[in-house]
Amino acid sequence: MARGIHPSRTLRRRLADAGIELVTPSSPDAAGTPDVLPDGLRTALSLPNSIVTDESELGRLNLSGPGDTAKISGVEVTLVGTIHGMKSLAAPWIICSETTARKLLWTSALVAFAFIVSVAVRKTLLGFFG
């Protein structure tokens, strides 16, 4: 993202609802940049499909430390670092670049759309599960 261009409120809200925090490495004062993220990790998030999460969330994501990979919404991501103080009550929070966030949200949107279509076609609330 170019310096001085900030994501729309709609995009930020969708990312937050999905448990994804938007980070723009080139502008430290951008909306969504968490204070707990050191500059080194912001730079590391510019790598493709890289994420940062709270250290206490590693087990929930089946990760043991930086360099490990996991699949989130069918997209393989690489953990580039951990932070402290951002544990969630529900699904684990991850911090990633806007590019990675768009990939993760796009995959989730496709799965949701496919399920809705399967419910309509099969005429049952279980869709392709029933």
Q: Is 80 exceeded by the pLDDT of residue 70?
A: yes
**Residues 61, 118: Cα–Cα separation, whole Å:** 29
Tell me the residue type at 94.
I
Q: What's the confidence (pLDDT) of residue 21?
A: 53
In a domain, residue 116? The reply is yes
pTM of this structure = 0.61
> What average pLDDT does this structure show over 23-32?
49
pLDDT class of 4 with cuts at 50, 70, 90: very low
Residue keyed to tokens 């590391």: 44
Domain housing 99: 9-129
**pLDDT class of 116 with cuts at 50, 70, 90:** confident
In a domain, 46, yes or no: yes
19 vs 42: CA distance, rounded Å? 18
**Is the Cβ–Cβ distance between 65 and 58 less than 8 Å?**
yes
Share the mean pLDDT of the chain: 74
- Number of structural domains (the chain) is 1
Give 42: exposed, middle or buried? Use CB within 10 Å, 0-12, 13-18, 19+. buried
pLDDT over 50 (residue 1): no
